[in-house]
Amino acid sequence: MNDAVPEKKLKLATAALCGCFGCHMSLLDIDERILKLVELVEFDRTPLTDIKAVGNCDIGLIEGGVANTENVEVLRDFRRHCKVLVAFGACAVNGGIPAMRNQFDLQDCLQEVYLDGIGVENPHIPDDPEIPLLLDKVHPVHEVVKIDYFLPGCPPSADTIWIFLNELIAGEAITFPYSLIHYD
Ligand code: SF4
């Protein structure tokens, strides 16, 4: 791992599309190492900074799959502004848990959730124009834009994220110890 502090900080942005924020929570699990991370990068749009629009960045981390029209917009915006774009966690890599709905027709899902499901009160399918339209299927991010790196795991562990970011920032080939790449 490279301990040198770069002269110029890289810019890092992150976004959660259709995910559970678990990957972002795992990023926070690097604990006090976040102090080292802020020596290496400046945070742009992230849930941590609450900046709403992504600026020109060196690295973008995308959590979650692409489930609605707003997800598509955010993802394309990140692709336009980030030199390196990373599919961050299983939902971004392969659709993950949200993509379990792909085996059903979207209309059937809405019917079950909002009209017929157990415990539904005031049954109606929300149609406020402010709510982004759902796509027919949940897509992994690489089906929508070009992705440079895939970091699997649900979520990727804090140690995996730490090594990945350090080596990426240092411009080194990314290698993980065996303990971080076996899952049994
Ligand atoms: Fe949550 Fe796992 Fe998906 Fe990350 S990969 S957003 S932790 S379900």
pLDDT-derived band at 184 (thresholds 50, 70, 90) equals low
Query: What is the atom index within ligand 1 of the atom nearest the CA of 26?
Result: 7
Indicate whether 177 belongs to any domain. no
* Domains contained in the chain, number: 1
In a domain, 68, yes or no: yes
| 181 — pLDDT class (breaks 50, 70, 90) | confident
In short, whether 98's Cβ falls inside 6 Å of ligand 1 is no
The CATH number for 41's domain is 3.40.50.700
Whether residue 7 is predicted with pLDDT greater than 90 in this model: the reply is: no
**DSSP readout, 15-78?**
EESBS-SHHHHHHHTTTTHHHHHHHHEEE-SSTTTT--S--SEEEEEEESBEEEHHHHHHHHHH
| Domain range for 155 | 10-100+135-171
Say whether pLDDT at 140 is over 80. Answer: yes
Q: pTM to 2 decimals?
A: 0.93
Q: What pLDDT shows up at residue 50?
A: 86
User: Which residue's C-alpha comes closest to atom 6 of ligand 1?
Assistant: 19
Tell me the per-residue pLDDT of 43-62, one tens digit each, with 9 for 90 and over.
999 998 989 899 999 999 99
Note whether residue 182 is domain-resident: no
pLDDT digits (tens, 9 = 90+) for 70-90: 999 999 999 999 999 999 999
The alpha carbon of 131 and the centre of ligand 1 are apart by a number of angstroms equal to 22
